[in-house]
Chains A and B, each alone.
Chain A
């Protein structure tokens, strides 16, 4: 009679390989070099953190109306408080800023609606991408329903930064996808157009594009015909970022095995069906880190609009540090700007990691 094969039972791992003690041993104290690096890092933190807390919190002044109120030897956050509205809204008339807040609240509510299960996601997306921008534009610019007209030259601060960033991101993404597909296309003309566009835009600094958009284009346009500078700058930023986006997405498209294209073709899917249903969902998921990288870069690049005389968050802060009544507030101003940009970019990064985890469907085998 044959011997019956019985797999041996699985045993739990040894105690010293799990838990907090094991973590410290493995990660902080695993070798003499590691012990040294751990101690050295703690020493650096000891040197840096107490002075920062001393300057920024313990010795800092938080309230006040003028520089004279800042009597402590730490930071003078009163400066931020006094200028806060300008940092947020630029020169937007203060009795009208509720319009910006309303648009923001509306957006938050619409985005929150995604969590409601009974809502049709496709219609909701259409509302957010088509209807909402129109509403937001009229809220910001005014001129209808008795809303006072606010010139775009008055738009500024974090409001302008967010506007440039969000519009740039939302518009450059689909454009980048199209450019990437175009560059992969078998049609020679579409392919050449995409290659020339991508390579030209990538070879030029953003400052040049912004300068072209704001100064050069009006020179070439016939007299009397002109369109808004903010719009020109938005188009410039979008095209710039789309070129980078296209190359990131192309990387994703190339990483998809040929078999996936063939399986989609063999089923009789059309080109657009196979791209939208099979290839892009996989390719975009692969390059989420690269896409978010481009988004974050774009968001920070919007600070360059100061070169064409627009005052975004950083522009407003710089202008405020030149106020004769508040001289010497540069560090506070830049620390504040740094914090806002960091919070926004860190938020994007964490959000993208969440999406990546959500889209994880087990390791790929083909």
Chain B
């Protein structure tokens, strides 16, 4: 049995939820951006979130590590409620890695320093150990020879792989991806997706906002489709793509798959 299948088998036995949304609502001013989100993600599950722009998919994902605050309902991450308690938030953020659309590497630090910053200052790891670990993850994303360069000297695809390695350096239990390939040239998308597929096969809990439907088909345990701040449909990939229940989903799929 492959890693992926094993994870699916464990899932079927009903493992506990690691992320839980209960009646979550969020407003930007008067704009109701998330409406009654009820959703739970199990440990080791790989979730792909898709939907048109403005549908709230990034916002929902960013609520998981409280880069966005919700105003109603509860979000439990690893059993900890995300509220104004700064201690809780910082504790959860240690366990949740995040990869952004625009990489958000720190331009004043070298690649290696980008990776060791959080382990040294948040995990209080000795510098030498942090650097060894950073090199290990840089090798995994096949970019170890660039360790001493600065982000500005790397291509977009390389920067995004560094960003993934930076997230992994916190040895997180959950990885969030917020449109990781949307800012990349077509030739660079594959190198980033390869790294993400590899990560998925190792059983990492992943929440990934993306329009890469090929990735969703091969990797996701469930695909979530959002529109206008609501979860329209969430299903296993083959069900989702071959037999979408909702006409909104059908329309979206026909738009992005037939071009």
Which residues in A have some Cβ–Cβ distance to B below 8 Å? 257, 259-260, 262-270, 273, 277-278, 281-282, 285, 359, 361-366
Q: Please tell me if the beta carbons of A266 and B67 are within 8 angstroms of each other in the complex.
A: yes
In the complex with contacts A285-B108, A362-B153, A268-B103 CB distance below 8 A? no
> Given the complex of chains A and B, what is the CA–CA distance between A282 and B108 in angstroms?
7
Give per-residue flags for B104-143: 1 if the beta carbon is below 8 A from chain A beta carbons, else 0: 1111100000000110011000000000000000000000
> Given the complex of chains A and B, what is the CA–CA distance between A259 and B159 in angstroms?
14
Since A257-B104, A263-B98, A263-B106 are in contact, a sample of 8 more A-B pairs with Cβ atoms closer than 8 Å, ordered by chain A residue number, is: A262-B104, A268-B122, A269-B121, A269-B122, A282-B108, A363-B152, A365-B151, A365-B152
> Given the complex of chains A and B, what is the CA–CA distance between A273 and B67 in angstroms?
17
Q: Which residue of B lies closest to A271 (CB)?
A: B86
Q: Please tell me if the beta carbons of A260 and B152 are within 8 angstroms of each other in the complex.
A: no
Give per-residue flags for B30-42: 1 if the beta carbon is below 8 A from chain A beta carbons, else 0: 0000000000000
Q: How far is the CB of A244 from chain B (nearest CB, A)?
A: 25
Which residues in B have some Cβ–Cβ distance to A below 8 Å? 65, 67, 90-91, 93-94, 96-98, 100, 102-108, 117-118, 121-122, 150-153, 156, 159, 166, 170
> Given the complex of chains A and B, what is the CA–CA distance between A281 and B113 in angstroms?
14
Q: Which residues of B contact A260 (CB under 8 A)?
A: 104, 106
For chain B, what secondary structure do more than half of its interface residues adopt (helix, strand, loop), or is it mixed? Answer: mixed
Q: How far is the CB of B157 from chain A (nearest CB, A)?
A: 12
In the complex with contacts A268-B122, A277-B121, A259-B104 CB distance below 8 A? yes
Q: Please tell me if the beta carbons of B121 and A273 are within 8 angstroms of each other in the complex.
A: yes
Closest 4 CB pairs of A and B: A362-B152, A268-B93, A263-B104, A259-B104
Q: How far is the CB of B93 from chain A (nearest CB, A)?
A: 4
> Given the complex of chains A and B, what is the CA–CA distance between A362 and B110 in angstroms?
11
Residue in A262, A267, A281, A282 whose beta carbon sits within 8 Å of that of B118 in the complex: A267
Q: Which residues of B contact A269 (CB under 8 A)?
A: 117-118, 121-122
Q: Please tell me if the beta carbons of B106 and A278 are within 8 angstroms of each other in the complex.
A: yes
> Given the complex of chains A and B, what is the CA–CA distance between A267 and B118 in angstroms?
6
> Given the complex of chains A and B, what is the CA–CA distance between A359 and B152 in angstroms?
13
Q: Which residue of A lies closest to B159 (CB)?
A: A365
Q: How far is the CB of B114 from chain A (nearest CB, A)?
A: 9
Q: Which residue of A lies closest to B123 (CB)?
A: A268
> Given the complex of chains A and B, what is the CA–CA distance between A364 and B102 in angstroms?
12
Q: How far is the CB of B105 from chain A (nearest CB, A)?
A: 7
Q: Which residues of A contact B100 (CB under 8 A)?
A: 259, 262-263
> Given the complex of chains A and B, what is the CA–CA distance between A124 and B121 in angstroms?
23
